[in-house]
């Protein structure tokens, strides 16, 4: 089977454009017209399709390369002659004849015109009866020259149609789903087109004569039969509107999944949203880690209780009683609020309180820190608690499990999350494989993770995978509290500040350093007796840490 070069076709005005996305890799089987790479100029981005079907043997371009008409994109082992597109004798996809005239011909427009300006669909090459899939503007908007008005889409491509005139939008003549063709009236603007000398192709010039001022939008694209044009990447109008920076296929993909692209963070070059970004966003929403704006609007952190058949949340005009200030909650607070609400409502949680005698352990911790003063690593009580909890979790494995329908999933790894108070809200970094780490290593990792949490630099991987969580308020104060389980975990340990208390040793009261423990557990998985045993065992370990070795 022959190796065929797949080249960049005639891409009209685009010369020396940068490769910003590779959509295939060596070994992939590609079809004719399947998009291979995305290129981008300062005005537009475009997906370059394959003219040949077969298996990709070699990629000849990499991200950042500059390509132009004729550049070899990749080598394909063709799956047969029939697989080569008819117009691909030189491996270039067919370019509609209109592209020959794609170079805009400046047509003198009225040097100044006030009053209604009609904006028509320009020459869009081979596109016929294309559906309007997006509308970016609404009546009353001030429209700039070249600002995208709508997106149209055929089965092969999507294209944003920009305005050729500036003015205030009086009336939109299309709606989502309408099919449009060259010359169709899109919108009526009011204002001056003095600055908007109209660029039209010769093919569409005929459309530009209407009364009193009729302007067809500039031919935005060389009329490629197969290349896919997306929004002008740096369209100033688009920027004003905050339109997401993504290729047409990514937009289509997002639309199919119902993903609001404007809420997706782009990790591609220049912040471009890639298919991976859309997938990651979708996964995060499904996992409950991200809420879309629409979800947040439907289910405010306070919840309206309607879904539970509760009476509505009280709506009070607080300003009636005194001065107020309203501040939107941060993203992390909103997300954790929704999670906490679900966990508080859905888990039949019970909390057991107990005290552990840490007199010797604290003395050992203080002595260790003195010895290690120069090492820069401070041993914390929390590190001992993590290690002690691992021992208790090993002894009582249901505390290290998760519910999956009617089954329990027992985890044979011990990743311990710890609540960290940050300026942005509560975060839970995770010490992975705490069973395999010593106190010094755990202390050091905790310090690093807590700092990252406070600086807002924790990666998703550093916040996931916990099998049990500890929430320590020991550095702050308090006696006991009732922490909320971090689902899908089934228990959480709350720790408060240790204090010296009189403890009866059988003969007399002696001062002992007592650490208040609050263990919240899911009663569907754990029984009260098991919880009491877990706390008691934890107390024994903290009382004499040598027991960890047993």
Residues classed as catalytic: 523
Q: Which two tokens stand for residue 538?
A: 């934890």
What does DSSP assign to residue 428?
A: -
| Site stretch for ligand CAO (CB under 6 A), options 42-50, 171-179, 250-258, 416-424 | 416-424
- The only residue of 74, 381, 439, 485 in contact with ligand CAO, by rule CB under 6 A: 381
Closer Cβ to ligand CAO, 9 or 494, answer by number: 494
The two structure tokens encoding residue 274: 């890639």
Which candidate, 432, 441, 439, 444, places its Cα nearest to that of 384? 439
Helices (H), 488-527: none
CB nearer ligand CAO, residue 156 or residue 432:
432
Using CB under 6 A as the binding rule, whether residue 419 contacts ligand CAO is answered as yes
Going by the DSSP 8-state scheme, the letter that residue 276 receives in this structure is H
**With binding defined as CB under 6 A, does residue 384 bind ligand CAO?**
no
**Would you count residue 474 as binding ligand CAO (CB under 6 A)?**
yes
Q: Does 193 bind ligand CAO (CB under 6 A)?
A: no
**Given candidates 53, 243, 382, 458, which one binds ligand CAO under the rule CB under 6 A?**
382
What are the φ/ψ torsions at residue 8 (nearest 5 degrees)? Answer: -70, 125
Token duo for residue 314: 């009280």
- Whole-angstrom distance, CA of residue 220 vs CA of residue 237: 14
Question: Does 473 contact ligand CAO by CB under 6 A?
Answer: yes
**Phi, psi for residue 54 in degrees, rounded to 5:** 155, -165
When the beta carbons of 394 and 451 are compared against ligand CAO, the nearer one is 451
Which of residues 451 and 533 has its CB atom nearest to ligand CAO in the complex?
A: 451
Contact 264, 281 (CB under 8 A): yes
Count of CB atoms situated within 10 Å of the CB of 493: 26
The residue among 184 and 362 lying less far from ligand CAO, judged by its C-beta, is 362
**Closest CB 403 distance from ligand CAO, rounded Å:** 22
Q: Pick from 343, 380, 444, 469: which binds ligand CAO (CB under 6 A)?
A: 380
Contact, 300 vs 294, CB < 8 A? no
Residue 442 C-beta: closest distance to ligand CAO, Å: 10
Size of the site for ligand CAO (CB under 6 A): 19
Contact flag: residue 519 with ligand CAO (CB under 6 A):
no
Q: Give 394 or 497: the residue with its C-beta nearer to ligand CAO.
A: 497
119 counts as binding ligand CAO under rule CB under 6 A? no
**Quick one: which segment of 21-29, 161-169, 417-425, 529-537 binds ligand CAO (CB under 6 A)?**
417-425
Position among 38, 201, 217, 471 found at the interface with ligand CAO (CB under 6 A):
471
Q: Which stretch binds ligand CAO (CB under 6 A): 45-53, 117-125, 289-297, 466-474?
A: 466-474
Strand 167-172 relative to strand 185-190, pairing = antiparallel
Q: What DSSP character marks residue 476?
A: T
* 421 in contact with ligand CAO (CB under 6 A): yes
Q: For 480, left (φ over 0), alpha (ψ -120 to 50), or beta?
A: beta
Is 420 a residue that touches ligand CAO (CB under 6 A)?
yes
Tell me which of 50, 359, 472, 535 binds ligand CAO, using CB under 6 A.
Answer: 472
Choosing from 101, 229, 379, 450, the residue that interacts with ligand CAO (CB under 6 A) is 450
The dihedral built from the CA positions of residue 12, 16, 18 and 19, taken in this order, carries a sign that is positive
Question: Could you tell me the smallest distance in angstroms from the CB atom of residue 4 to ligand CAO?
Answer: 59
User: Taking CB under 6 A as the rule, does residue 495 contact ligand CAO?
Assistant: yes
Shortest distance, position 425 Cβ to ligand CAO, whole Å: 10
Q: Of 111 and 459, which CB lies nearer to ligand CAO in the complex structure? A: 459
Select from 58-66, 458-466, 493-501, 523-531 the region that touches ligand CAO (CB under 6 A): 493-501
Left (φ > 0), alpha (ψ -120 to 50) or beta: where does 98 sit?
alpha
Q: Which stretch binds ligand CAO (CB under 6 A): 72-80, 269-277, 348-356, 419-427?
A: 419-427
Measured from the CB atom, the residue of 71 and 380 that comes closer to ligand CAO is: 380
Listed ranges 307-315, 395-403, 420-428, 521-529: which one lies at the site for ligand CAO (CB under 6 A): 420-428
Q: Tell me phi and psi for residue 60, to 5 degrees.
A: -100, 0
520 binds ligand CAO (CB under 6 A): no
Alpha carbon distances (Å) from 391 to 283, 394, 414, 432, 456: 33, 5, 10, 15, 31
Does the footprint of ligand CAO cover residue 83 (CB under 6 A)? no
Inter-CA distances, 305 with 287, 302, 318, 346, Å: 22, 9, 21, 13
For position 426 contacting ligand CAO by CB under 6 A, the verdict is: yes
Of 43 and 333, the one with the shorter C-beta distance to ligand CAO is 333
| Secondary structure of 219-272 as H, E, C letters | CCCCCECCCEECCCCCCHHHHHHCCCCECHHHHHHHHHHCCCHHHCCCCCHHHC
Which of residues 144 and 365 has its CB atom nearest to ligand CAO in the complex? 365
Residues 88-107 that bind ligand CAO (CB under 6 A): none
In 3D space, the residue among 43, 75, 41, 44 whose CA is nearest the CA of residue 57 turns out to be 75
**What residue is closest to ligand CAO based on CB?**
474
Handedness of CA 119, 124, 130, 132 (dihedral sign): negative
| Contact of 94 with 190, CB cutoff 8 Å | no
Q: Which residues contact 315 (CB under 8 A, 6 or more apart)?
A: none
Single out the residue of 418, 521, 534, 545 in contact with ligand CAO (rule: CB under 6 A): 418
User: What is the rounded distance in angstroms from the CA atom of residue 98 to the CA atom of residue 90?
Assistant: 19
Give the helix, strand, coil percentages of the chain, each rounded to 5: 30, 25, 45
Contact segment (CB under 6 A) with ligand CAO among 10-18, 380-388, 390-398, 539-547 equals 380-388
Min CB(341)–ligand CAO separation in Å: 13
Query: Which residues would be at the binding site for ligand CAO (CB under 6 A)?
Result: 380-382, 418-421, 426, 450, 471-475, 483, 495, 497-498, 515
């Amino acid at each position: 089977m022959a190796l065929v070069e797949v080249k960049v076709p005639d891409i009209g005005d685009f010369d020396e454009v940068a490769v910003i996305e590779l959509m295939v890799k060596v070994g992939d089987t590609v079809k004719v017209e399947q998009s291979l790479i995305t290129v981008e100029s300062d005005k537009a981005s475009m997906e370059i399709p394959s003219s040949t079907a077969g298996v990709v043997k070699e990629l000849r371009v990499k991200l950042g390369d500059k390509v132009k008409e004729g550049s070899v994109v990749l080598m394909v082992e063709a799956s047969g002659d029939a697989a080569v597109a008819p117009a691909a004798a030189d491996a270039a996809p067919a370019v509609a004849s209109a592209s020959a005239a794609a170079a805009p011909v400046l047509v003198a427009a009225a040097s100044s015109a006030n009053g209604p300006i009609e904006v028509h669909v320009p020459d869009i090459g081979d596109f016929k009866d294309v559906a309007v899939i997006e509308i970016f503007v609404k009546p009353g908007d001030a429209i700039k020259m070249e600002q995208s008005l709508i997106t149209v889409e055929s089965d092969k491509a999507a294209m944003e149609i920009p305005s050729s005139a500036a003015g205030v939008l009086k009336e939109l003549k299309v709606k989502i789903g309408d099919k449009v063709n060259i010359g169709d009236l899109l919108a009526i603007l009011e204002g001056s087109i003095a600055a908007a000398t109209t660029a039209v192709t010769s093919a569409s010039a005929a459309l530009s004569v209407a009364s009193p001022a009729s302007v067809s939008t500039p031919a935005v694209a060389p009329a490629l039969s197969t290349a896919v044009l997306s929004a002008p990447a740096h369209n100033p109008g688009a920027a004003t509107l905050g339109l997401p920076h993504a290729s047409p296929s990514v937009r289509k993909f997002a639309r199919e999944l119902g993903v609001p692209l404007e809420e997706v963070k782009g990790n591609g070059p220049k912040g471009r949203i890639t298919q991976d970004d859309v997938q990651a966003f979708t996964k995060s929403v499904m996992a409950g880690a991200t809420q879309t704006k629409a979800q947040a609007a439907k289910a405010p952190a306070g919840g309206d209780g309607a879904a539970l058949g509760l009476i509505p949340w009280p709506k009070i005009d607080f300003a009636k009683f005194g001065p107020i200030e309203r501040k939107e909650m941060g993203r992390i607070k909103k997300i954790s609020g929704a999670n906490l609400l679900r966990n508080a409502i859905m888990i039949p949680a019970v909390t057991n309180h107990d005290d552990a005698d840490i007199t010797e352990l604290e003395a050992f911790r203080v002595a260790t820190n003195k010895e290690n003063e120069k090492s820069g690593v401070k041993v914390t009580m929390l590190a001992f608690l993590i290690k002690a909890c691992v021992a208790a979790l090993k002894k009582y494995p249901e505390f290290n499990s998760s519910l999956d329908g009617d089954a329990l999933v027992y985890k044979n790894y011990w990743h311990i999350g710890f609540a960290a108070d940050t300026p942005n809200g509560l975060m839970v970094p995770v010490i992975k494989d705490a069973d395999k780490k010593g106190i010094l290593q755990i202390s050091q990792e905790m310090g690093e993770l807590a700092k990252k949490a406070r600086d807002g630099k924790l990666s998703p991987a550093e916040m996931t995978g916990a099998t049990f969580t500890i929430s320590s308020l020991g550095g702050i104060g308090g006696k006991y509290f009732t922490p909320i389980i971090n689902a899908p975990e089934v228990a959480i340990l709350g720790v408060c500040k240790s204090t010296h208390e009189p403890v009866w040793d059988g003969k007399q009261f002696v001062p002992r350093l007592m650490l208040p423990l609050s263990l919240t557990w899911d009663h569907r998985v754990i029984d009260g007796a098991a919880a009491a045993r877990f706390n008691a065992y934890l107390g024994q370990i903290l009382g004499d840490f040598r027991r960890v070795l047993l």
